[in-house]
Amino acid sequence: MTGAVQVVRAGALTTVQDSGRTGWAHLGVPRSGALDVPAARLANRLAGNGPDAALLETTVTGCAVRPDRPVLVVVGGAPCRVTVDGRPVAWGAPVRVPAGAVLDAGPAVRGLRGYLAFGGGLVPEPVLGSRSADLLSGLGPAPLRTGDVLPLGEAPASPPAADAVPWPGVPAELVLPLRLGPRHAWFTAGALRTLTTATYRISPDSNRIGLRTEGPALTCARTGELPSEGMVLGAVQVPPDGHPVVFLNDHPTTGGYPVIGVVAEPALAAAAQAVAGTRLRFTAATVRTRRAARSGP
């Protein structure tokens, strides 16, 4: 049984996301996809979906939707108050929402980004193999507005089995293991020490493109400009003001500022939930931490 959900309250920034569109960086298209991958996959699993099903990613203020058919919904990620037609229901667990009822995922109590997974997933038209909204290139569905309608996929034949799992926590302090390179030689020895010993704070100017920081500036040892080169997820780029920027899912695929190091992808999930003002430290990644990051949680 298919159907649709109507957006009753769009919130500050709500987008459709899945696992992203990989393999298109050579055409200038970033990956996009859910920022908090573990939370998005867990929400999908509890809703009876595969890990790559499209769902909603909210930012700070949540959103509200009205399905036109009965649907199983899981609200996860950043903890928030969840109601159906004004009645409190469970956060982080499957909730059956009747046709025509309004499910409201309220403002985040902790963290930054919430996820709404619907049984059967959301099925807007894919672009380059993904249904994800990309804020940088504009590919995929536009950020949601009140009144938008999104199609639902076929509901799972049988409800998901009972499941009890811990949700990822929201960091009080963000610690990102950093592997230096490829342009760390562009910086002074003092800048390299500062990078792994100082405490930064996350700037309010952060978004899905990058995590901007406030704190001590890093000093370049060279003058002149670096030719544009490829950028990867987790690259830590240093613009002229000296404040590191950690590239997230909607990052540009090329850039001309030096990249002092790279944060392994699994370590970035916590960055999705770190609000403005959160303390941030970079640590030197060892062989052990790199292996742990590759293997994931």
Number of folded domains that form the chain: 2
Instruction: Give the pLDDT confidence score for residue 164 in this predicted structure.
Output: 63
When pLDDT is cut at 50, 70 and 90, the band that residue 289 belongs to is very low
Q: pTM (2 decimals)? A: 0.93
Phi-psi region of 241 (alpha: psi -120 to 50; beta: other; left: phi over 0): alpha
| Residues in the chain, overall count | 297
Mean per-residue pLDDT of the chain: 92
Instruction: Give the pLDDT confidence score for residue 161 in this predicted structure.
Output: 73
From 146-155, 225-234, 245-254, the region with the lowest mean pLDDT: 225-234
Q: Evaluate if residue 293 carries a pLDDT over 60.
A: no
Say if residue 195 is in the same domain as residue 141: no
When pLDDT is cut at 50, 70 and 90, the band that residue 223 belongs to is confident
Say if residue 111 is in the same domain as residue 208: no
Does residue 164 lie in a domain region? no
Cis before 244 (ω within 30): no
Residue 15, CB half-sphere, CA atoms under 13 Å: how many? 25
The tens digit of pLDDT for each residue in 58-97 reads: 999 999 999 999 999 999 999 999 999 999 999 999 999 9
Say if residue 200 is in the same domain as residue 107: no
Say if residue 20 is in the same domain as residue 131: yes
| Distance, CA of 153 to CA of 149 (rounded, Å) | 13
Nearest to 221 by CA among 181, 190, 261, 177: 190
Domain limit, last residue, from 121, 152, 183: 152
Does residue 262 lie in a domain region? yes
Say if residue 187 is in the same domain as residue 248: yes
Say if residue 15 is in the same domain as residue 113: yes
Q: Evaluate if residue 124 carries a pLDDT over 90.
A: yes
Say if residue 110 is in the same domain as residue 190: no
The residue range of the domain holding 248 is 173-295
Query: If 0-12 CB within 10 Å is exposed, 13-18 middle and 19+ buried, where does residue 165 land?
Result: exposed
Say if residue 142 is in the same domain as residue 183: no
